[in-house]
Structure 1
Amino acid sequence: MIRVGIAGATGYTGLELLRICSHHPEVEIIWATSDSYSGIELGNYCPAWQGRTCMVLEKPDMEEMAREVDVVFLGLPHGVSMDYVPAIFPHAKVIDLGADFRIQNLETYEKYYGLHHKLPTVVREAVYGLPEIYRQKIKTAQIIANPGCYPTSIIIPLYPLLKNQIIQPEIIADSKSGVTGAGKKPTEVTHFCEIDGSFKAYKIGEHRHQPEIQEQLSSAYGGSVDIVFTPHLLPIKRGILSTIYVQGDPSVSEKEMWKIIENFYHNEPWVRVYPLGQFPELKWVLGSNFCDIGLKKVDKKHFVIVSAIDNLTKGASGQAVQNMNILFGVDERVGLPSSVLYP
């Protein structure tokens, strides 16, 4: 059994980790922490767990708690993971669901997150946790930087096209997310009366996921990639749908472009490339670990790519468990949800 600890268990990603890990046949959840709700039984904090567990949420003490587990999931606010990692490293692997180890360029990280990075050496050691691309590195990693939700929905469909240099390195991505992407702490922007019946773009040209996307796409292309990324807030709880606009050579057909993506992900259990003429919808991925992709050529050189994920599953906790499976030699399909929450 893989002994698991979950730090930050009462956030949306932490609760999703508990949901997934509780059904995983190879996992034993040893502890779950919460600064705000320590000492409270999980079933009293979240009644969905009534009658299922007697686990009590604990105050984090990583010096001692890391000794009890094989891997620690960190579902913590940006900047906090840096304080936890040094205590965990001697004893357990780390899968960080925050942003502290995703961006290799520390100046860029500090600019976008407004934080001084305390562990530059660990950043260089961290493996970006997109399994379909970095599987071999993930197998031997000590620390895995779980990708952001928006980046997952954009990098997966674009990676094989940029790797084969079949599209121009100037890209536009419009992404629409449910409100859970903003985290559990309520704000004026995200409370019910502000989002219900509305739809808006936000943080245009300055979203924190922009440099993460750009760094990974440039690595795939082997040169600089420019991306205009605009996130939007949907009045729904969960899910991301990204509409991506790219340019290809006029001689490249729709079927040829589709085949490059389909061939790249043909054996990937959690990526579904739709037949030509079909496009993803959020209702077909919610609650699952799938990333769905569709494509259309709209004129001589322009292509539209549509992808859909559940931001809490493939965009966060499901991908984290997929990384854990690879890290410990377990089939990466094990324990992960393939059924969707439909209707």
Structure 2
Amino acid sequence: MIKAGIVGATGYAGEQLVWILHNHAEVSIEFYGSHNYANTKFNEIYNNYLGFIEDKCIDMEEAMNRLHKIDVLFIALPHGKAFDITEKALSLGVKVIDLGADFRIDSKETYEAWYNVKHESASLLEQAVYGLCEINREKIKECSLLANPGCYPTATILGLAPLLKNKLIKLNTIIIDAKSGVSGAGRAANIPTLFTECNESIKAYGVASHRHTPEIEQELSKLAEEELIVSFTPHLVPMNRGILSTCYAQLKKETTTEEVLALYKEFYKEDYFVKITDGLPETRWVRGSNLCHIGVRVDKRTNRIIVVSAIDNLIKGAAGQAVQNMNIMFGFEETKGLEFIAMAP
């Protein structure tokens, strides 16, 4: 049994972490850190825990004081907020899994340019491992500081990885059109995500400027073994959760949909959470699960390939992947606590 602490436990990703870890046979949650809800019972914030969790949330100062009592710290905070507590946790021998962006970008300068925040723990960047489980599993086994991937990057990189590793596409032709449910914007009150502002509408945002762009380019470049840039446009759709990433690229040679599907199935044959579908993914078939569904089509008329990837942004795109990473880091079965499939309808 390992002991976990969570800071940022009352945001959507933090709450999803609580939900998964509460049902994990090898984990006990030692504290629930929250800036806004310190000294409030967790089950008063989320009533679904009524009768199950009686603990009160604690503030960041108290969380810092309790680090010596835990084995792993989950950080679900906005960017720029993870530096101090990460440094202290690591100094105490506590493994850190950061669900935010503070350790995802290899370059301090790139991070500061895109996030407009000074990186105060640049010395830790070299030891941070990018936690896309299906791609970096061996590195994750040995790491103490885990940078949990963003939601858009998770869906997109998993969707494109087989093409890049097999050098099937022209790198300067990648276009990513992605759509997310409203929970991706977080729990804080924000006019653009109010019901009447986003219901019955769809809109692009962060066009040519979204902060997940350098993360996507960084990891795709590693897979391709050369630098590349992408066109990435995210959209907000009026649903609670889910991401659908549709990626386009020019093929280097003629191939068929059937050949590419066979390649994808071989590439992910050992990965429990990635399912290759002969059809096209929908977010409802992965909602509430740690699964990623991927479908492909070859457009012979244009010699382009279209890859469609679907995940739940709060689970495979955040908390579920964080627990999957924890399982790998501590030597548990990778699927432990995550075996649930999507609930329909």
| 2:252 corresponds to | 249
| 2:12 corresponds to | 12
Is 1:271 aligned with 2:242?
no
Percent identity over the alignment? 44
| 1:34 corresponds to | 34
CA deviations 1:12-38 (Å, max 9, x no partner) are 010000000011111111111111111
CA deviations 1:229-288 (Å, max 9, x no partner) are 00000001100011111111332222222222211101101000112xx01101100000
| 1:302 corresponds to | 304
Matches within 5 A, 1:5-154: 5-60=5-60, 61-91=62-92, 92-154=94-156
8 Å contact 2:73–2:95 — kept in the other structure? yes
CA distance in 2: counterparts of 1:295 and 1:205, whole angstroms: 25
CA distance in 2: counterparts of 1:58 and 1:159, whole angstroms: 40
2:170 to 168, 171, 182: 168
Secondary structure, counterpart of 2:35 in structure 1: coil
1:258 to 258, 261, 264: 261
Is 1:233 aligned with 2:220?
no
8 Å contact 1:290–1:338 — kept in the other structure? no
Secondary structure, counterpart of 1:28 in structure 2: strand
| 1:197 corresponds to | 200
8 Å contact 1:62–1:87 — kept in the other structure? no
Q: CA deviation at 1:62?
A: 4.3
| 1:177 corresponds to | 180
User: TM-score w.r.t. structure 2 length?
Assistant: 0.97
CA distance in 2: counterparts of 1:337 and 1:230, whole angstroms: 32
8 Å contact 1:157–1:261 — kept in the other structure? no
CA distance in 2: counterparts of 1:120 and 1:293, whole angstroms: 35
Q: CA deviation at 1:337?
A: 4.5
Q: Which ranges of structure 2 fall in alignment gaps of 5 or more residues?
A: none
CA distance in 1: counterparts of 2:319 and 2:11, whole angstroms: 11
Secondary structure, counterpart of 2:32 in structure 1: strand
Counterpart of 2:223, as a letter, is A
8 Å contact 1:287–1:337 — kept in the other structure? no
8 Å contact 2:7–2:63 — kept in the other structure? no
Q: CA deviation at 1:106?
A: 1.5
Secondary structure, counterpart of 1:48 in structure 2: helix
Farther-moved stretch of structure 1 (56-65 vs 137-146): 56-65
Secondary structure, counterpart of 1:226 in structure 2: coil
User: TM-score w.r.t. structure 1 length?
Assistant: 0.97
| 1:207 corresponds to | 210
CA distance in 2: counterparts of 1:55 and 1:188, whole angstroms: 32
8 Å contact 2:31–2:63 — kept in the other structure? no
Counterpart of 2:85, as a letter, is Y
CA distance in 2: counterparts of 1:174 and 1:246, whole angstroms: 12
The count of residues paired between Structure 1 and Structure 2 equals 341
Counterpart of 1:325, as a letter, is N
CA distance in 1: counterparts of 2:108 and 2:177, whole angstroms: 26
CA deviations 1:144-193 (Å, max 9, x no partner) are 00000000010001112111211111200100000111111121111111
CA distance in 2: counterparts of 1:338 and 1:318, whole angstroms: 11
8 Å contact 1:79–1:100 — kept in the other structure? yes
Secondary structure, counterpart of 2:191 in structure 1: coil
CA distance in 2: counterparts of 1:45 and 1:151, whole angstroms: 30
CA deviations 1:294-328 (Å, max 9, x no partner) are 00111252111101000000000000000000000
| 2:319 corresponds to | 317
Q: Which ranges of structure 1 fall in alignment gaps of 5 or more residues?
A: none
CA deviations 1:60-96 (Å, max 9, x no partner) are 2344211111100000111000121111112200000
Q: CA deviation at 1:291?
A: 0.5
Counterpart of 2:142, as a letter, is T
Secondary structure, counterpart of 2:125 in structure 1: helix
Farther-moved stretch of structure 1 (2-11 vs 296-305): 296-305
Farther-moved stretch of structure 1 (27-36 vs 312-321): 27-36
**Cα 1:135–1:315, aligned 2, differ >3 Å: closer, same or farther?**
same
8 Å contact 2:6–2:33 — kept in the other structure? yes
